[in-house]
Structure 1
Amino acid sequence: MTLLDLTPPRQLASRLQGLPVAIIGAGPIGLAAAANLADRGLDFVVLEAGDRVGASVEQWGHIRLFSPWKHLVDPVSRRLLAETGWVEPPADSLPTGAELVEAFLRPLAALPAIASRIRFGVAVTDVTREGMDRTRTAGRAQAPFLLRVSTADGVEELTARAVIDASGTYRTPNRLGSSGLDPLGLPEVADLVGHALPDVLGRERDAFARRRTVVVGAGHSAANTLLNLAALAESEPGTRVTWVIRNASAARVTTAPDDELPARASIGARVDALVAEGRIELVDRFEIVRLGRVEGDAGGAASVRITGRRGDGLETIEADRIVNATGFRPDLEMLREIRLELDDIVEAPKRLAPLIDPNVHSCGTVEPHGFAELTQPERDFFIVGMKSYGRAPTFLLATGYEQVRSISAWLAGDAASARNVELVLPATGVCSTDAAPAGSGSVGGSCCG
């Protein structure tokens, strides 16, 4: 493992002076980073690919988190907002993703110290050092970061003294194939394969009503979508639901002992009951290898033939739609010129990976961590939030808030505060689901609360 420089900055190199910290992403963690930097008087710029704050959160805005408001608001952001007269929602109430954006992210982004520093419609495509690819070492830490971005007006380049990558993983789902690759034939049926957490009881209802849907995945994203589809089937006869998993059971969903969050604990029991009642068909030990398009008769809608390995042979399943709820992975392509140390398995920062191993930890058993665990061989470059967890599904917002608090302290030269990481979490995590009865609201995905 590379020996890292963990000494806080005292005097910036002349080429770095006057440059901002670049924050990639204006979601909850990116905006919390902005609030913490603003609180310490450090200049920054937030680069958001969407046209508004929380753009990815709004994609699952129908989801009700099963973590209450008291775990969803960054402490520094809370203090800055309170100074403006902002009234925090009731601590124990459970917001939807849309309510999180409306009641917290938008007011936070509107603070004068933050609003003037957000650029929307700016997609970061590459991060490097000015005049240096990843192979050059001499003077590297004194060279500004160079971010190439795509905007409506074309391509441009920006420089920064440090980079905090809070771009998340929602837009980069895992592959459907059990091998980690796309199944053969995916391009010809891509229009029939959807992202995790569709709004099947709301804006996407017509795409699922009276159709056969196969949900692939063994986590909370899959389970919550199954609950919504079962609710849809109650009012739309002919709606059929199949759940495909590659293992013998979905233990991460269906077992939640001693959970301090009742809404989370109930999700597995509800799915199990629907399977037992025959309202959800469970196909286990099924490894998808190929997808094929089946054209409808007399101009009818096309469907998908799913071929998978099961036991010693191949089996097929027919579906009108597939929901890919197999989890998410970080987009590392834009970081090819950055020197990174990532875990070989979960693609998280190497020092963080043992703390978040999903084979050992749930959301609530992850130890507090900050700049030291997130520091990379590329000085002053940090991956935070859901992206810092790589492919591990155990992230929660409160953990991300502590990450950016620690990093902001370190960038400000406050080593003592940066190293003093503290966080108290409920017993098995702060994740997302919906505590409401089936049919009264949509339900959520893996740990994101």
Structure 2
Amino acid sequence: MNTNTTDQTRLPVVVIGAGPVGLAAAAHLAGRGVETLVLEAGPAAGGAVREWGHVRLFSTWAEVVDPAAEKLLAPTGWVAPDGATYPSGADWAEKYLQPLADVLGDKVRYGTAVTGVSRLGRDRIVDADRDRQPFTVRVALAGGIEERILARAVIDASGTWSTPGPIGADGLPAMGERAATAQVGYRVPDLTDPATRARYAGKRTAVIGSGASAFTALAHLAALAGQEEDTHSVWILRRGINGSTFGGGAADRLPARGALGLAAKAAVDDGYADAVTGFRTAAVERTGDQLVLVAEDGRRLDPVDEIIALTGLRPDVSFLSELRLGLDERLQAPVALAPLIDPNQHSCGTVYPHGVSELSHPEKDFYLVGMKSYGRSTAFLAMTGYEQVRSIAAALAGDQEAAERVELTLPETGVCGGAGLFDQPEAEETSGGCCAAPATLTVGAPATSTGGR
């Protein structure tokens, strides 16, 4: 192929990841007649979402269905779930993401893991005609087969699920953490799974983290402790406990989020968990079959049987090393976006809607979207991701006016697309919007199940 004469207009826009935002990008591009190819490493749509399928979202169905996707689904007879109810991750994947991927048909390729992205014939140091060259996307298929796909633009919606944060307070794995992997988990456990339930029942478990996922794990383990003797949790926080530790509680304008914080507080108040504050983990040491956590200041905790580390997620940019990315030095988010999402200043609902301008990089026509665009910040909102890809699709279709127009109005507080906990959606009467009055919600852990996953 003569790279100087490649007609990039005939090449597809490659979208990495068939999750909520990646599929929304494909829907918006399809609606504008732009050739698109979605590359998904897993065997089905929403692979990461399925892995936390047992957890319920804070967001209602009305807030997690993209308008362009709904328009694409409508002719198939797809019926949107009740917009006022809250889906679990499994619901989201099966009732929305997979049907959307099915409608997109051969625009979605499964079992296709992206291992590298570059410019055809140009590594990152070469300037000459760089923007005129198509992207080359290297993928790995089953059986060790490799393939190169050319693209006119690349939208990376691969998320951050595959790269959880480590235990170490310095951002590195704690000394001994890797050696203890058999007893360290980095996800909210699914206690409806018999094997997982048996792993934690009657055990002493350390839960490290201070966000929604840690709240969820604590509440699930507290429910297990009420059923299984000798089950206990140790909640480890790097900071102290103050008025904001448990979120807004009963005064939270997002009842689901407030209920989650109250459940974590109840786990401590009811004696199912002990809170250890100001503990910055430096090492994990083994004593017999148990593990001992050691802090930077030398403090040592009593031995535990299991550790659940819920210390955030990180973007994997290793396969993008030949691209010229403009990332904030702290958050690893696009430079122009970083000030808008700084977790020290913003929650999910106070992030201003943004699009192609804030998401652009020195590498023309390459974009990070969705959770990955937020780098190490967790204040992500599904609706914000949908607005991101709407704007980018408009720009790639040549409609700059639409690309720069804001078409999303967020509530003052917003609804995070995080881990909700309440398990009786039929009893919920609030929509989770910013102005909803505080409400008492039934909060609990998944019911005991004797069946497999």
Same fold, TM-score > 0.5, yes or no: yes
Which aligned segments of 4 or more residues in structure 1 are displaced greater than 4 angstroms?
Answer: 250-253
SS of 2:376 mapped into structure 1 = coil
Q: Please give the alpha-carbon distance, in whole angstroms, between the structure 2 residues aligned to 1:40 and 1:253.
A: 45
Q: Please give the alpha-carbon distance, in whole angstroms, between the structure 2 residues aligned to 1:339 and 1:241.
A: 45
Q: Please give the alpha-carbon distance, in whole angstroms, between the structure 1 residues aligned to 2:243 and 2:72.
A: 41
Contact 1:254–1:269 (CA under 8 A) maintained in structure 2: yes
Whether 1:369 and 2:354 are equivalent positions in the alignment is: yes
Whether 1:294 and 2:284 are equivalent positions in the alignment is: no
Whether 1:441 and 2:432 are equivalent positions in the alignment is: no
Whether 1:303 and 2:284 are equivalent positions in the alignment is: no
Contact 1:48–1:123 (CA under 8 A) maintained in structure 2: yes
**Which residue matches 1:180?**
171
In structure 2, relative to structure 1, the CA distance for the partners of 1:250 and 1:65 (3 Å cut) is farther
Contact 2:338–2:374 (CA under 8 A) maintained in structure 1: yes
Q: CA deviation at 1:122?
A: 1.0
Number of equivalent positions = 421
In structure 2, relative to structure 1, the CA distance for the partners of 1:58 and 1:134 (3 Å cut) is same
Select which of 111, 129, 137 maps to 1:139: 129
**Which residue matches 1:159?**
150
Select which of 68, 76, 81 maps to 1:76: 68
Contact 1:218–1:252 (CA under 8 A) maintained in structure 2: no
**Which residue matches 1:321?**
306
Select which of 246, 251, 254 maps to 2:246: 254
SS of 2:238 mapped into structure 1 = coil
**Which residue matches 1:129?**
119
**Which residue matches 1:447?**
none
Q: For 1:256-405, list aligned pairs within 5 A.
A: 256=248, 259-295=252-288, 302-310=289-297, 313-405=298-390
SS of 2:9 mapped into structure 1 = coil
TM-score, normalization by structure 2: 0.90
**Which residue matches 1:210?**
202
**Which residue matches 2:97?**
105
Q: CA deviation at 1:189?
A: 0.8
Question: Once the two structures are aligned, what percentage of the paired residues are identical?
Answer: 46
**Which residue matches 2:438?**
none
Q: Please give the alpha-carbon distance, in whole angstroms, between the structure 2 residues aligned to 1:54 and 1:261.
A: 25
- Superimposed CA distance per residue, residues 365-412 of structure 1 (whole angstroms, 9 cap, x where no aligned partner): 110000000010000000000000000010011100000010000000
Q: Which amino acid aligns with 1:308?
A: A
Q: CA deviation at 1:136?
A: 0.6
Contact 2:390–2:403 (CA under 8 A) maintained in structure 1: yes
SS of 2:70 mapped into structure 1 = helix
Q: Please give the alpha-carbon distance, in whole angstroms, between the structure 2 residues aligned to 1:351 and 1:214.
A: 38
In structure 2, relative to structure 1, the CA distance for the partners of 1:171 and 1:202 (3 Å cut) is same
Contact 1:62–1:199 (CA under 8 A) maintained in structure 2: yes
Q: Which amino acid aligns with 2:127?
A: T
Contact 1:220–1:253 (CA under 8 A) maintained in structure 2: no
Q: Please give the alpha-carbon distance, in whole angstroms, between the structure 2 residues aligned to 1:402 and 1:131.
A: 33
Q: Please give the alpha-carbon distance, in whole angstroms, between the structure 1 residues aligned to 2:22 and 2:343.
A: 24
Q: CA deviation at 1:423?
A: 1.8
- Superimposed CA distance per residue, residues 28-76 of structure 1 (whole angstroms, 9 cap, x where no aligned partner): 0111011111111111111111111011101000001121111000010
Whether 1:18 and 2:23 are equivalent positions in the alignment is: no
Q: For 1:186-225, list aligned pairs within 5 A.
A: 186-203=177-194, 204-225=196-217
Contact 2:167–2:177 (CA under 8 A) maintained in structure 1: no
Contact 1:256–1:265 (CA under 8 A) maintained in structure 2: yes
Q: Please give the alpha-carbon distance, in whole angstroms, between the structure 2 residues aligned to 1:156 and 1:14.
A: 19
**Which residue matches 1:4?**
none
Q: Please give the alpha-carbon distance, in whole angstroms, between the structure 2 residues aligned to 1:86 and 1:115.
A: 15
Q: Please give the alpha-carbon distance, in whole angstroms, between the structure 1 residues aligned to 2:215 and 2:375.
A: 21
Q: For 1:30-41, list aligned pairs within 5 A.
A: 30-41=22-33
**Which residue matches 2:410?**
425
Q: Please give the alpha-carbon distance, in whole angstroms, between the structure 1 residues aligned to 2:259 and 2:70.
A: 30
SS of 2:131 mapped into structure 1 = helix
SS of 2:300 mapped into structure 1 = strand
SS of 1:156 mapped into structure 2 = strand
Q: Please give the alpha-carbon distance, in whole angstroms, between the structure 2 residues aligned to 1:385 and 1:134.
A: 24
SS of 1:426 mapped into structure 2 = coil
- Please provide the CA RMSD for this pair: 1.7
**Which residue matches 1:87?**
79
Q: CA deviation at 1:438?
A: 4.3
- Superimposed CA distance per residue, residues 337-375 of structure 1 (whole angstroms, 9 cap, x where no aligned partner): 110111111110000001101011111111000000001
Contact 1:15–1:143 (CA under 8 A) maintained in structure 2: no
**Which residue matches 1:59?**
51
Q: Please give the alpha-carbon distance, in whole angstroms, between the structure 2 residues aligned to 1:439 and 1:174.
A: 26
Q: CA deviation at 1:322?
A: 0.7
Q: Please give the alpha-carbon distance, in whole angstroms, between the structure 1 residues aligned to 2:314 and 2:50.
A: 19
Q: CA deviation at 1:186?
A: 1.7
Q: Which moved more, 1:200-209 or 1:221-230?
A: 200-209
Contact 1:261–1:426 (CA under 8 A) maintained in structure 2: no
Q: Which amino acid aligns with 1:381?
A: F
Q: Which amino acid aligns with 1:229?
A: L
Q: Which amino acid aligns with 1:121?
A: G
Q: Please give the alpha-carbon distance, in whole angstroms, between the structure 1 residues aligned to 2:284 and 2:312.
A: 19
Q: CA deviation at 1:252?
A: 5.5
**Which residue matches 1:299?**
none
- Superimposed CA distance per residue, residues 93-123 of structure 1 (whole angstroms, 9 cap, x where no aligned partner): 0110000111111111111xx1111111111
Q: Which runs of 5+ in 2 are unaligned?
A: 424-441, 448-453
Q: CA deviation at 1:304?
A: 1.3
Q: Please give the alpha-carbon distance, in whole angstroms, between the structure 1 residues aligned to 2:414 and 2:446.
A: 22
Contact 2:66–2:386 (CA under 8 A) maintained in structure 1: yes
Q: Please give the alpha-carbon distance, in whole angstroms, between the structure 2 residues aligned to 1:149 and 1:50.
A: 13
SS of 2:299 mapped into structure 1 = strand
